[in-house]
Chain A
Amino acid sequence: MIPAEFDYVAASSLEDALRLLGEHGDEAKLLAGGHSLIPLMKFRLAAPSVLVDISRLPELRTLRPSDGHLRLGAGLRIRDLELSPVVREQVPLLAAAAASVGDRQVRARATVGGTVVHGDPAADIPAVLVTLDATLVLRGPAGERELSAAEFFVDFWETACGLDEVLVEIVVPALPGRRWAFEKFRQRSQDWATVGVAVQETADGEHAVGLVNMAPVPWRASPVEDALRSGAAVPEAAGHAAEGAAPPSDLRGDSAYRAHLAQVLTAKALTTAGAGS
């Protein structure tokens, strides 16, 4: 399968990428790892007339600790998050979710910025960012703006990133030594999650819970968190996992099955992360 014709420009800097987006408007698309965009173009579900390649900009490939947080450049490959000693020590939940994405070859190309802006609710890292209350830093013609992960994910494959904006950084809290768990249920090892659950013990000792593939957006299971806060034991709290969610039905399972899986996996993850103990 061959994509429709387009022109390709390798942006020479972030400023250059923004200028090219401004010049070409909605004809243009950013190209990062290409592992969502290229398949879409091969199936001719997407046919941008200009691709602006940002995958080799050094300014998007930074990883900096700052003030109790880690600032991750959007151009870091998922492999970088999986293997980085700093991410593994400071935000092990994120490293574990990264290691579960696709396969080694996919992780070697796909970027953290690409998986976030693609906005697929079946993707693993977005649910972790919602769980961690991450901040997303966008750069556009009018300068920089910051959004919380909760504000950023709008709908199925839709985010708050404007057509003229570039996601530059993802800011996550450093939580070394805090407990966490990531459960991903899939039929074959390289599959996307039928359902996934991320649990993170926060700095004040509470537990945040996020779900993969349980709604049109990466889902924060607040009813579970509320139940724990009011003293519920793990099995009871996990029973609230699907509350308010809207799990899809597809070949891998219908929505009732997903709701059941979410409860089972949430109980497992909460136990691993030391909730209710």
Chain B
Amino acid sequence: MRHDVTLRVNGVVNRHTVESRQLLVHHLRETLGLTGTHVGCDTSNCGACTVLLDGVAVKSCTVFTVAADGGEVLTVEGLAQDGQLTPVQEGFRQCHGLQCGYCTPGMVVSATGLLLDRPDPSPEEIREGLEGNLCRCTGYQMIVESVRWAADHGGPGAVAEAHRSRTEAGTP
């Protein structure tokens, strides 16, 4: 019931032996120490656990680590390079897109995935695009403004674009 799993996480290739039932979010947080990815609801509703898996945003509380074997994961820790925030992260800073911050890693990664699909979303498309991410604090208005800021200032960012281009997130 244990499996050797190879994952490329934020550009680094890791090999670990995991239990079949281990969820990807627990692998990231507990084995790899990447605690930026949060657990909120643990029932696939809130989006706090969102990461990019092979180019698309997914809820890592509802993916088995073993089922992602051979895949590539980008978490919130992998976005900024040498202290340089991505446009999405900078947008949340400029537009005050967070209060307590609990939802923020998931929001930022989800917004990054949205901008990979739709580089120039309207406010409505941002609201719809982030419907899988719940925030108890902000009332969403400033999150929408943050994502719009990012769209006007460079989009998802080079790391996310490179991550996407290495995957087959295209449609059949």
List residues of A whose CB falls within 8 A of some B CB: 1-8, 10, 31, 34-35, 38-39, 41-42, 51, 53, 55, 61-63, 76, 79-80, 83-85, 102-106, 108-109, 189-190
In Å, the complex CA distance between A41 and B43 comes to 11
A1, A41, A80: which contacts B172 (Cβ < 8 A)? Answer: A80
Task: Name which residue of chain B comes closest to A85, CB basis.
Answer: B171
A-B contact count (CB 8 A): 94
Judging by beta carbons under 8 Å apart, are A5 and B21 in contact?
yes
Contact in complex: A103, B58 (CB < 8 Å): no
A3 and B21 form a contact (CB under 8 A) = yes
Contact with A along B133-172 (1 / 0, CB 8 A): 1000000000000000000000000000000000000011
The answer on a CB contact under 8 Å between B62 and A7 is no
**Cα separation A4 to B19 with both chains bound (whole Å):** 11
A104 pairs with B129, CB closer than 8 A: yes
B20 and A1: CB pair below 8 A?
no
| Cross-chain contact of A38 among B64, B66, B128 (Cβ < 8 A) | B64
Q: Are B132 and A105 neighbours in the complex by a CB distance under 8 Å?
A: yes
Q: Does B110 contact A (CB under 8 A)?
A: yes
Near A by CB (< 8 A), chain B positions 41-84 give 42-45, 47, 50, 56-59, 62-64, 66-67, 69
- Give, as a whole number of angstroms, the nearest-CB distance from B43 to chain A: 6
* A5 and B128 form a contact (CB under 8 A): no
Contact present for A105 and B21 (CB under 8 Å):
no
Q: Which residue of A lies closest to B45 (CB)?
A: A190
- Establish whether residues A53 and B171, one from each chain, have CB atoms under 8 Å apart when the complex forms: no
Task: Report the nearest A residue to B69, measured CB to CB.
Answer: A10
- B113 in the interface (beta carbon within 8 A): yes
A34 touches B172 (CB 8 A): no
- Give chain A residues whose Cβ lies under 8 Å from the Cβ of B132: 102-106, 190
Question: What class of interface size applies to chain B in its complex with A?
Answer: 20 to 34
Mark each residue of chain B from 13 to 30: 1 if its CB lies under 8 Å from any CB of chain A, else 0.
000000111010000000
Write out the residue numbers on chain B whose beta carbons fall within 8 Å of the beta carbon of A55: 67
A40 to B95, CA, bound (A): 39
Does A5 lie within 8 Å of B19, measured CB to CB? yes
Let me know if B59 and A106 touch, CB within 8 A: yes
- Smallest CB-CB A-B distances: 4 pairs: A103-B132, A8-B20, A108-B56, A190-B131
Q: Write the residues of chain B forming the contact surface with A, with a CB cutoff of 8 angstroms.
A: 1, 3, 19-21, 23, 42-45, 47, 50, 56-59, 62-64, 66-67, 69, 110, 113-114, 117, 127-129, 131-133, 171-172
Given A38-B64, A55-B67, A190-B131, verify A105-B3 contact (CB < 8 Å). no
Which single residue of chain B is at the shortest CB-CB distance from A188?
Answer: B131
Assess the A34–B114 pair: CB atoms within 8 A.
no
Output the nearest chain A residue to B127 by Cβ-Cβ distance. A189
In the assembled complex, how far is the CB of residue A15 from the closest CB belonging to chain B, in whole angstroms? 20
Tell me the smallest distance from the CB of A108 to a CB of chain B, in Å.
4
- Bound Cα distance from A35 to B23, whole angstroms: 13
Give the complex CA separation of A201 and B64 in angstroms: 41
A263 and B92 alpha carbons, distance in the complex (Å): 44
Min C-beta distance of A17 to chain B, whole Å = 14
For the complex, what is the distance from the CA of A189 to the CA of B69, rounded to whole Å?
A: 33
Collect the chain B residues with CB atoms within 8 Å of residue A80's CB.
171-172
A244 to B172, CA, bound (A): 39
Complex Cα distance, B170 from A85, in Å, reads: 11
User: Looking at A41, A51, A61, A76, which has the most chain B CB atoms within 10 Å of its CB?
Assistant: A51
Query: Knowing A105-B47, A106-B59 touch, does A6 contact B110 (C-beta < 8 A)?
Result: no
Asked if A108 contacts B64 (CB within 8 A), the reply is no
Q: A8-B20, A108-B57 are in contact. Are A83 and B131 (CB under 8 A)?
A: no
Residue contact B131 to A103, C-beta cutoff 8 Å: yes
User: Please, how many angstroms separate the alpha-carbon atoms of A2 and B22 in the complex?
Assistant: 7
Of chain A, the residue at the smallest CB distance from B114 is: A104
Of B19, B63, B114, the residue contacting A109 (CB under 8 A) is: B63
**Nearest-CB distance from A178 to chain B (Å)?**
23
